[in-house]
Homo-oligomer: A and B are copies of this chain.
């Protein structure tokens, strides 16, 4: 069997994660990385594989079965995914929840015009968490769903801290509140405020001579980012920052608390959680598993835009239906 030929568009943490995840799947091979940087400045981890200019991607359209697009959701993906979907079957991790319907429409249109297949908004949230919300709500229609994120680094909140005057380095951890999770696990269906679900923990290296009290106050009162949360700001040395806060752990949990029975007083709780040492490497692993699914569904003749909701689980696995039924069912 010939291998699934993968291209990577964008070579940041996520793109590198995809490169490493491909190594764990012997039915796939990396064809090339496409970058907006001068390609000669980009050194890949894989021997014999090159970086190319993003503009040259189209020349390789017949060499790539699936292009995994690893740009950011704010400005990259709304442009890149429809553009690349003209020439390639594509996968992205677009995660701006409110703009997913619009992104879906754009990508779907281009795919249908060009006979390509796209999967958007893959990863863990949106992605695996979305799947679990869907399964759990379909099975327990009478109930309530809760999503908790963390403990883990929020890129957006870390960026916000770094924009504050006097901050040299900063990182923010989103921390779910254990008591709230326990309440849900017990079968209750509490109404939880934003503040009752998560705390925000900041670690800051201040510029020399900066006004620490002012930095702390500015962070804690930042609208949309911190003002609705209990936030702690910890000033630490640059040495400590570099030594301790150089990783991208994350995690989270989706909980569905539902009731069944004649009086709807029988409690049933479904919980899905992940604990990640590396958020980008895990997200990349999800994208790569779905690349296998995409390649199969394309061969069956499917085109247009799809999400995790539309992909039958069996497509993700290397195993045949017969093997899956014998070993995993």
A residues engaging B (CB < 8 A)? 17, 20-21, 24-25, 45, 97, 100-101, 104, 121, 126, 128, 130-135, 137-142, 185, 187, 258, 260-262, 264, 266-278, 281-282, 284-286, 289, 292, 307-314, 316-318, 321-322, 324-326, 328-329
**Interface contacts beyond A260-B282, A260-B284, A268-B277: sample of 17 additional A-B pairs, CB < 8 Å, sorted by A:** A21-B260, A100-B326, A126-B329, A128-B270, A130-B328, A135-B313, A138-B289, A139-B286, A260-B281, A266-B278, A268-B281, A269-B274, A270-B273, A271-B274, A308-B313, A309-B329, A313-B313
Given contacts A260-B21, A268-B285, A281-B268, contact A329 B138 (CB under 8 A): no
CB-CB under 8 A from A133, the residues of chain B are 328
Contact B140 A285 (CB under 8 A): yes
CA distance A25 to B260 in the complex (A): 11
Contact B260 A329 (CB under 8 A): no
Given contacts A126-B329, A260-B285, A307-B325, contact A313 B274 (CB under 8 A): no
CA distance A126 to B328 in the complex (A): 9
CA distance A39 to B25 in the complex (A): 56
CB-CB under 8 A from A308, the residues of chain B are 313, 329
Contact A310 B321 (CB under 8 A): yes
CB-CB under 8 A from A328, the residues of chain B are 130, 133-134, 137, 309
21 contacts between A and B (CB under 8 A): A101-B326, A134-B316, A135-B316, A138-B289, A138-B317, A140-B285, A187-B275, A260-B285, A261-B281, A266-B278, A269-B276, A270-B273, A271-B272, A271-B274, A271-B275, A272-B272, A307-B324, A307-B329, A308-B313, A309-B325, A309-B328
